[in-house]
Structure 1
Amino acid sequence: MTATSGVSDKAKTGIAGLDDVLGGGLVRNRFYLLEGSPGTGKTTVALQFLLDGARLGEKTLYITLSETDEELRDGAASHGWSLDESVTIFEVIPPESLLDANQQQTLLYSSDLELGETTRQIFDAVDRVKPTRIVLDSLSEIRLLAGSSLRYRRQILALKHYFARHDTTVLMLDDLTADAMDKTVHSVAHGVVRLEELAPDYGAQRRRMRVIKYRGQHFRGGYHDYAIERGGVRIFPRLVSLEHKTGFERHRLASGIASLDTLLGGGIEKGSSTLILGPAGTGKSLFAVQYVLAACARNERAAMFVFDEELGLLFERTRQLGLDLEGLRESGLLLIEQVDAAELSPGEFAHRVRALIDEHAVKTVVIDSLNGYRAAMPEENSLVLHVHELLQYLNRQGATTFLTVAQHGLVGDMQSPVDVTYLADTVILLRYFEAVGRVRRAISVVKKRAGSHEDTIREYRISTGGLSIGAPLAGFQGVLRGIPTFVGSEDDLGTVLTGQSP
């Protein structure tokens, strides 16, 4: 990645995310390469590039050596586009004699003649249309006609110099079917963009793009997820939290449960992240929902991204506890989305979160759970980096974030599928424990960066009235291991036997 050259006149690609990655678009009157295996969306990107130019009143030309005119128009129609008046399509076809099976003899019609004829047709089309944007699809055909690497390189250089004299911005497509290891065009092109498709063991295919080269321009490096949908390609630039700093006043936010706020030293700080750890069934989602309710009571918008539970079941379950999440959604204060990890890439998920923050001024975000989010990640290391950037972005926007993580097991020494405790500002630990023949639940705060907090362990209960948190369990030790030992007084034991807080 190099420093910005100061060139401001750039051709937009018609894809907002790609323009963001490229630092504003493509420098005009240059020669670019868009490469990727079949099915990665090269043609769709190319059509969006030309259609955006046509929208600005520019003349555009699509030169195709591999697809027919009808195939291109049908492909455009599948996205709701019409190419009739906006894009000129020139289909390069061999001379009629080459299509005659009786005359297809290498001695008479060598690759030299075919390559020369193909080049002449391309030049004639450019002279006739005089476009400012050109797409050439695809280089694999030219590579096969050239035969050798030397002739191929000379042909590419000839095309580059010809287009340069006509003040055109050229996008060359390469499907990598002839020779994927040939980097000839990489050294000649002003910029190189690669599209990739990954096939996970389960779920939909994942697509990502990367700018390999862009001479004299600052661009966003690394991989960026993208999706092909009706309406074109959508690219989700990699989130860089340092680029999104905002100023806001930090203060403590109450949960609506006085004893929980006391345990947390007065509440959760605005613009911080909280991780809620515990085995299945301990009420992690319910604790997060409590802060959603508190935000809505302050007339602030909140957002929930639910990975693990069907929304209808979530609404019904919370309704039985006296919590009307569905009503909050209908009022517009709660934005809630069901997320399918098998169908969603991490980049697209981060894009959805950013959209809610930017468009709806959301100040409380719940991700339930990180286990489901992890399912969208191929590697744990990548997950940690994604979560780090997302949490830092949300914190810098003044949004308070709550993440839940289901730990393996029910009691004893439990493990988390991934350790992100060091990323969160506050860590709340939920546990089951057994006492006098009953399974109970305990809560403790094991970490809080901003300010002090109680180091006690409190019992809590979930009933039709919602959450209730009792006094510290002063008469027991070993609660977090699941099998506590009673070391207190008779009053402490009486509290446990009656199931009431002292």
Structure 2
Amino acid sequence: MAWTLETPDKAAFGIVGLDDILAGGLVRDRFYLLEGNPGTGKTTIALQFLLDGAAQDEKTLYITLSETEEELREVATSHGWDFDPRIAVFEVIPPESLLDANREQSLLYSSDLELGETVQQIFDAVDRVKPTRIVLDSLSEIRLLAGSSLRYRRQILAFKHYFARHATTVLMLDDLTADALDKTVHSVAHGVIRLEELAPDYGAQRRRLRVIKYRGQNFRGGFHDYTIVPGGVRVFPRLVSLEHRTGFTREQLVSGSAELDALLGGGIETGSSAMILGPSGTGKTLFAIQYVLAAAARGERAAMFIFDEEIGLLLERTRQMGYDLEGLRDAGKLLIEQVDAAELTPGEFTHKVRSLVAEHAVKTVVIDSLNGYRAAMPNENVLVLHIHELLQYLNRQGATTFLTVAEHGLVGDMATPAQVTHLADTVILLRYFEAFGRVRRAISIVKKRAGTHEDTIREYQIGSKGLGIGAPLEGFQGMLRGIPTFTGKGGDLA
């Protein structure tokens, strides 16, 4: 995202997506809070924050009250990072009287003395290192040592004023184990980032973050998906399609089938979306492939994201029809990816689509199917918003999108898994019908925003040569109900 307002000098996290959300990073010499339950990636993000500072020749300091230096180095090693000499680690060691069980005396060593000694150790480390970036891990220990909410707030304010005098950017971590309802630091901190982990009924855990507060600065609101992978945290900012307008010339794209192009009034426009509806087995993927082949013939790149079908099976069955998708893939004209809805978050999928379109100049995108995409997003309202933003983004890039949707049922009244037909510019409807003891297929166009289209219903067949579309079925009624009747007014089955 391009920000037009001037922003002060900022300390970046070194995480592209997170820095984008924060419009460049954290304003320097301020006090920030990164909070989340254990396992949400706070330590990893904090280490990336310090590593980015070290890469800028800054002195950095990691103050740990909850983890040992050895554990921190193990985290860095697991991501393939070398601890830069400019990253100092200060491990706050409990007083000797607490480590020696024989000398433990609660009356002699009060919590006041323990808190004061811990704070003094922290201040001494800062004075010794003189860092420009500090991570304090974690506030839960400070909260427990303070005992009361009043003393805890006073101590946090003392930290804030002390660090402000030393011109350092401080990132404080809170694992929310002491008191998740205590919002003391929220009011004191210049910015607050919340990390969350969700556990679906099936599949990998989902993680998301939200900027709760960023005083006086622009930031991208709402929830943003992120993952923890070897190499660090990857953040996928929420897509806002209005931020990605581009100029392009609209043209009609032909499919290579004269009958299909006639149904569509000449073709489908660039920078538009088409939804192919129909029950299972009606050939929705094959219709989308017609436009993939046409794009390759024009010298353009196409991308297919396959949720439901195994790629090897798709390549084999289309090869038998004379469609050499494997050859197109090997030649770099077709980018085809298998998507596991149980493992991929919606934000990560959107990022993957955007990257292919931007980096490879993809002009034809096939998402097969919405049903598989929906599995990653059970909430229908959220699904509609995700699809809307993604389709609008692709439209504004001049890409033509084909989205297949498997409807419930086989004949008669059908039901889509979600009410999304209003989002597409063109809706192609596929149906089964019974005639003369055979199950046949019919195609019709029920919606096309740009230009006119035929209102006829045509029979089509799927054979060893691919798709074959016949003339309009003018002598039959009740085609969409599945059991047509012959009117004797002419016309015939294909």
Preserved contact between residue 441 and residue 461 of structure 1 (Cα < 8 Å): yes
- Paired-residue identity, %: 80
- Which digits, 9 at most, give the CA deviation of each residue in 1:101-156, with x for residues without a partner? 01222101111111001000000000000000000000000000000000000000
Q: Indicate whether 1:131 and 2:131 are aligned.
A: yes
**How far did residue 97 of structure 1 move?**
2.1
State the partner residue of 1:67: 67
Determine the structure 2 residue equivalent to 1:221. 221
Superposition pairs for residues 229-378 of structure 1, below 5 Å?
A: 229-378=229-378
Q: 3-state DSSP class of the match of 1:350?
A: helix
Residue in 2 aligned with 1:19? 19
**Superposed displacement of residue 364, structure 1:** 0.2
- Aligned residue pair count: 492
* Residue correspondence of structure 1 range 34-49 to structure 2 within 5 A: 34-49=34-49
Asked if the contact 2:405–2:416 (Cα under 8 Å) also holds between the matched residues in 1, the reply is yes
Deviations 1:174-196 (A, max 9, x none): 00000000000000000000000
Q: What's the counterpart of residue 392 of structure 1?
A: 392
Say if 2:430 and 2:443, in contact at 8 Å, map to a contact too: yes
Secondary structure of the structure 2 residue equivalent to 1:344: coil
Is the partner of 1:434 in helix, strand or coil? strand
In 1, the alpha carbon distance for the partners of 2:397 and 2:5 equals: 31
Aligned residue in 1 for 2:191: 191
The whole-number CA distance in structure 2 between the counterparts of 1:359 and 1:307 is 22
What is the SS of the residue equivalent to 2:421?
coil
Task: Please tell me the residue identity of whatever aligns with 2:476.
Answer: F
Q: Is the 8 A contact 1:204 1:342 kept in 2?
A: yes
Task: Give the deviation of 1:83 after TM superposition.
Answer: 1.2
CA distance in 2, matches of 1:488, 1:225: 59
**What one-letter code is carried by the residue in structure 1 that aligns with 2:420?**
V
Per the TM alignment, residue 378 of structure 1 is displaced from its structure 2 partner at its CA by 3.1
Q: Which residue of 2 aligns with 1:140?
A: 140
Give the AA of the match of 2:277. L
**Matched AA of 2:131:** P
CA deviations over 1:425-482 (Å, ceiling 9, x no partner):
0000000000111110000000000000000000001111111110000010100110
Alpha-carbon deviation of 1:4? 9.0
Using the TM superposition, give the Cα deviation of residue 414 of structure 1 relative to its aligned residue in structure 2, in angstroms.
1.0
TM-score normalised by structure 2 residue count: 0.98
Taking the TM superposition and a 5 Å limit, the aligned residue runs for 1:395-474 are 395-474=395-474
Matches within 5 A, 1:63-142: 63-142=63-142
Whether 1:486 and 2:486 are equivalent positions in the alignment is: yes
Contact 2:54–2:84 (CA under 8 A) maintained in structure 1: no
Contact 2:51 2:84 (8 Å CA) reproduced: no
Query: 1:81/1:291 Cα in 2 relative to 1: closer, same or farther (>3 Å)?
Result: same
Deviates more, 1:227-236 or 1:79-88: 79-88
Q: Is the 8 A contact 2:9 2:27 kept in 1?
A: yes
Give, in whole Å, the separation in 1 of the partners of 2:122 and 2:423: 56
Report matched runs for 1:148-163 at 5 Å. Answer: 148-163=148-163
> How many angstroms does 1:87 deviate by?
1.1
* 1:57 to partner: Cα distance: 0.2
Which residue of structure 1 aligns with residue 182 of structure 2?
182
Question: Counterpart amino acid of 1:384?
Answer: V
Distance 1:212 1:4, change over 3 A: farther
- Pairwise CA RMSD: 1.1
For residue 6 of structure 1, report the CA deviation from its aligned partner. Answer: 4.0
Contact 1:94 1:117 (C-alpha < 8 Å) held by counterparts: no
* Distance of 2:103 and 2:255 partners within structure 1: 83
* Structure 1 range deviating more: 84-93 or 168-177: 84-93
Gaps of 5+ in 2: none
Q: In structure 2, how many angstroms separate the alpha carbons of the residues matched to 1:4 and 1:353?
A: 26
Aligned partners of 1:111 and 1:178: how far apart in 2?
16
Q: Once structures 1 and 2 are overlaid, which stretch shifts more, 102-111 or 289-298? A: 102-111
Once the two structures are overlaid, the 10-residue window that deviates more, 36-45 or 457-466, is 457-466
Give the C-alpha shift of residue 389 in structure 1.
0.2
Q: CA deviation at 1:5?
A: 7.8
Give the match for residue 210 of structure 2. Answer: 210
C-alpha spacing 1:5/1:216, structure 2 compared with 1 (3 Å): farther
Q: Which amino acid aligns with 2:30?
A: R
Q: Which residue matches 1:476?
A: 476
Question: Where has structure 1 moved over 2 Å in runs of 4 or more?
Answer: 3-8
What is the CA–CA distance in structure 2 between the aligned matches of 1:205 and 1:104, rounded to whole Å? Answer: 42
For the residues of structure 2 that align with 1:57 and 1:84, how far apart are their CA atoms?
10
Given residue 374 of structure 1, which amino acid in structure 2 is its aligned partner? R
TM-score by length of 1: 0.97
Partners of 1:390 and 1:435 in 2: CA distance: 40
